[in-house]
Amino acid sequence: MISHVVEPADIVVDATCGQGNDTLFLAELTGSGGLVYSFDIQESAIEAARSLLTKNNLIHTVRFIHDDHARLADYVHNKIKVCMFNLGYLPGGDHQITTKPDTTIKAVEASMKLLEVGGLVTIVAYPGHQAGKLELEELRKYLKSIPQQEMEITETLFINQINNPPVLIIAQKIKEEI
pLDDT single digits (tens) 150-172: 999 999 988 898 888 999 999 99
Q: 178: pLDDT confidence band, cut at 50, 70 and 90? A: very low
In three state form, how does the secondary structure of the chain look?
CHHHHCCCCCEEEECCCCCCHHHHHHHHHHCCCCEEEEEECCHHHHHHHHHHHHHCCCHHHEEEEECCHHHHHHHCCCCEEEEEEECCECCCCCCCCECCHHHHHHHHHHHHHHEEEEEEEEEEECCCCHHHHHHHHHHHHHHHCCCCCCEEEEEEECCCCCCCCCEEEEEEECCCCC
With respect to residue 78, please indicate whether it lies within any of the assigned structural domains. yes
pLDDT reported for residue 90: 60
With respect to residue 72, please indicate whether it lies within any of the assigned structural domains. yes
- Is the pLDDT at 132 greater than 90, yes or no? no
With respect to residue 93, please indicate whether it lies within any of the assigned structural domains. yes
- Is the pLDDT at 97 greater than 80, yes or no? no
* Closest residue by Cα to residue 136 from 69, 84, 68, 88: 88
Alpha-carbon distance 90 to 76, whole Å?
23
Buried-exposed string 149-158: b where 16+ CB fall within 10 A, e elsewhere: ebbebeeeee
Residues 105 and 37 sit within 8 Å (Cβ to Cβ): no
Domain span at residue 43 reads: 2-173
* Angle between helix 43-55 and 21-30 (nearest 10): 40
With respect to residue 178, please indicate whether it lies within any of the assigned structural domains. no
With respect to residue 70, please indicate whether it lies within any of the assigned structural domains. yes
**CATH number of the domain where residue 84 is located:** 3.40.50.150
How much is the average pLDDT of 108-128?
Answer: 96
With respect to residue 68, please indicate whether it lies within any of the assigned structural domains. yes
Q: 89: pLDDT confidence band, cut at 50, 70 and 90? A: low
**How far, in Å, are 10, 20, 159 from residue 81 at the CA level?**
6, 19, 30
Q: How many domains does the chain have?
A: 1
